[in-house]
């Protein structure tokens, strides 16, 4: 099967933050950034939390607005810090392109086509796209209204509630060989409190059985580990569409190198036929 993009990778907010020192986890971000290359598309969370930490460090106190206003303001501040940090560590031979997306870019065919062209031109232009959902301009009430309208008109809508969904939609849009989702866990578990219950391979004799096995694994997923996260069950729901397209999906720990994960040299959960 022919693929247009080698890898779509996604890293979550928790993996990017050093909680002990209340700062960016530069060890992880620097190491992963050095591995990025043309042919990779990188979806990154972290703007809101990095913006909050940056504001707190500069002002000595947190913002006192509503949750929605604070999220907007922190995202706007954190996005520049996040991109500056990626640019600092990515190989200087490569261009870095910031792309901020919203749900409209996946629900409108013209916008999907435009985004597809932008992303698929990058490898030949020696460029690495860094993608994040555009929280700074995404008003929650307006977003919900727009999504409800799309659902009424089309029967369904791509919401991009979090960057797991965004990464999965990007993977489908560009037809990538591998979708890599990084967090602070080694993969998907039958019991997240028991490290020995890690499921290292989810496959099947055909696509139908593969998706059945993903759904079986979903029954073992409960809750989420942070506010705003949709949790492991939703993560597995999002990856079904890339799997239908023939994309291999890997859920792995950000403490490992991309090279070792893709080579199967470390523990992870690999989905695919």
Instruction: Give the pLDDT band of residue 229 (cuts 50, 70, 90).
Output: very low
- Computed over every residue of the chain, the mean pLDDT equals 92
Distance CA 165, CA 39 (A): 20
Domain coordinates in residue numbering, the chain:
5-271
User: What backbone torsions phi and psi does residue 72 show, to the nearest 5 degrees?
Assistant: -60, -50
Q: How confident is the model at residue 157 (pLDDT cuts 50, 70, 90)?
A: confident
* Residue 225 clears pLDDT 50, i.e. is over it: no
Q: What is the mean pLDDT of residues 253-269?
A: 97
Pair 45, 16: CB distance under 8 Å = yes
Q: pLDDT higher for 143 or 32? A: 32
pLDDT at 162: 86
**Does residue 224 have a pLDDT over 70?**
no
* pTM score, whole prediction: 0.92
Q: So what's the pLDDT on residue 1?
A: 67
3-state secondary structure of 180: strand
Residue 149, pLDDT score: 87
C-alpha 35/C-alpha 262 separation (Å) is 12
Asked whether the predicted pLDDT for residue 23 surpasses 50, the reply is yes
**Average pLDDT of span 139-145:** 76
CB-facing half-sphere around the CA of 154: CA atoms within 13 A: 14
| CB 253, CB 231: distance < 8 Å | no
User: Per residue in 51-77, pLDDT tens?
Assistant: 999 999 999 999 999 999 999 999 999
CATH number for the domain whose boundaries are 5-271:
3.40.1160.10
Which pLDDT score is estimated for 223? Answer: 54
């Amino acid at each position: 099967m022919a693929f247009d993009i080698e890898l779509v990778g996604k890293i979550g907010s928790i993996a990017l933050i050093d909680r002990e020192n209340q700062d960016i986890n530069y060890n992880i971000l620097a190491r992963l950034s050095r591995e990025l290359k043309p042919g990779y598309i990188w979806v990154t969370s972290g703007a809101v939390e990095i913006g909050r930490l940056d504001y707190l460090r500069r002002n000595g106190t947190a913002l006192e607005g509503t949750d929605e206003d604070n999220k907007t303001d922190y995202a706007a501040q954190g996005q520049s810090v996040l991109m500056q940090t990626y640019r600092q560590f990515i190989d200087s031979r490569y261009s870095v392109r910031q792309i901020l997306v919203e749900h409209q870019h996946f629900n409108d065919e013209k916008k999907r086509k435009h985004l597809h062209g932008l992303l698929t031109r990058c490898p030949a232009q020696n460029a690495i796209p860094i993608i994040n959902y555009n929280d700074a301009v995404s008003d929650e009430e307006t977003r919900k209204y727009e999504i409800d309208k799309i659902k009424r008109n089309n029967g369904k809508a791509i919401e991009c509630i979090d960057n797991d969904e965004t990464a999965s939609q990007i993977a489908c849009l560009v037809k990538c060989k591998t979708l890599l989702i990084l967090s602070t866990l080694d993969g998907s578990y039958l019991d997240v409190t028991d490290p020995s219950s890690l499921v290292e391979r989810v496959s099947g004799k055909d696509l139908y059985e593969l998706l059945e096995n993903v759904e079986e694994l979903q029954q073992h997923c409960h809750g989420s580990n942070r506010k705003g996260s949709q949790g492991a069950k939703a993560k597995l729901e999002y990856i079904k569409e890339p799997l239908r397209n023939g994309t291999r999906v890997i859920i792995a720990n950000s403490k490992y190198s991309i090279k070792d994960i893709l080579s199967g040299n470390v523990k992870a959960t690999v989905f695919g036929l």
